[in-house]
Amino acid sequence: MSLDPSVEAALDSGQIKRFDLIRFDLPGKSVGYHRGGRLYTYNGLVYYPNRWLQTGGMNSALGVAVTTRTIVFSNVPTANPDDAIATLESYEYQNAPVIIAHLAGDPVTDQVLGILASSIYEIDQVSYQKGAAGENGERTLTISIDLQPPGRSARGATLVKRSPAEQNFDNSANDTSLEYVAVNAQWPLEWGQRQG
């Protein structure tokens, strides 16, 4: 991937500001977060502030394990009804796409110059840690979300396809190779020579 010329110029000058964004495309809802202090709009999506604690390093292993990443959010629950992370369990979040983007910006004007890097993941699993009780007895949660690479990049290593839709996405829209996967184990197989 080549960088936008304005991003390259900013990098060469050494004067750059980085904006970290994360977008969740949950079933029926897209929601974004960033590490700034106020609402931020990028490409038509409003990104909520101050919740995304850790961008998470990538973890990998030998063998058939895939590269994963864990991200951490805080301050759950929240009063904002549009905050999907606060009500994540109400969505079918398993395998939902997650895009982590790092934008380059002008440090004086905060103008976005372009994209430094962007990674696409899927939600693998979610875990919750309880915080201390406040004055009114309520507790907040910290959410850790484990991500894994989507599609062929992950399952090429594990040799697993999860659905015909993913097979069509990775190969061809007309691919029907997984059409009978759920029932083929029940079909009798003939071995050896047939008696004529």
- pLDDT per position as a tens digit, 91-141: 888 888 999 888 888 877 878 888 888 888 898 888 888 766 777 776 667
Residue 67 in contact with residue 149, Cβ under 8 Å?
Answer: yes
Q: E strands within 2-105?
A: 17-26, 29-34, 40-42, 45-48, 52-54, 58-59, 68-76, 97-105
Query: How many CA atoms lie less than 13 Å away from 188 in the CB half-sphere?
Result: 2
**Which pLDDT belongs to residue 56?**
61
Q: What share of the chain has pLDDT > 70, as a percent?
A: 68
Indicate yes or no: pTM above 0.75.
no
Q: Where is pLDDT greater, at 15 or 60?
A: 15
Distance CA 156, CA 170 (A): 11
Give domain status of residue 196, yes or no.
no
Give domain status of residue 192, yes or no.
no
DSSP string, 54-65: E---EE--STTP
Give domain status of residue 103, yes or no.
yes
**Which pLDDT belongs to residue 25?**
92
**Which pLDDT belongs to residue 23?**
92
Same domain? 90 vs 111: yes
Phi-psi region of 8 (alpha: psi -120 to 50; beta: other; left: phi over 0): alpha
Same domain? 63 vs 157: no
Q: Is the pLDDT at 152 greater than 60, yes or no?
A: no
Q: Where is pLDDT greater, at 153 or 32?
A: 32
**Which pLDDT belongs to residue 172?**
72
Same domain? 40 vs 115: yes
Q: Which domain covers residue 170, as residue numbers?
A: 151-187
Give domain status of residue 97, yes or no.
yes
Residue 12 in contact with residue 33, Cβ under 8 Å?
Answer: no
Question: Which among 143, 106, 152 is positioned nearest to 22, based on CA atoms?
Answer: 143
Same domain? 65 vs 98: yes
Mean residue pLDDT across the chain: 76
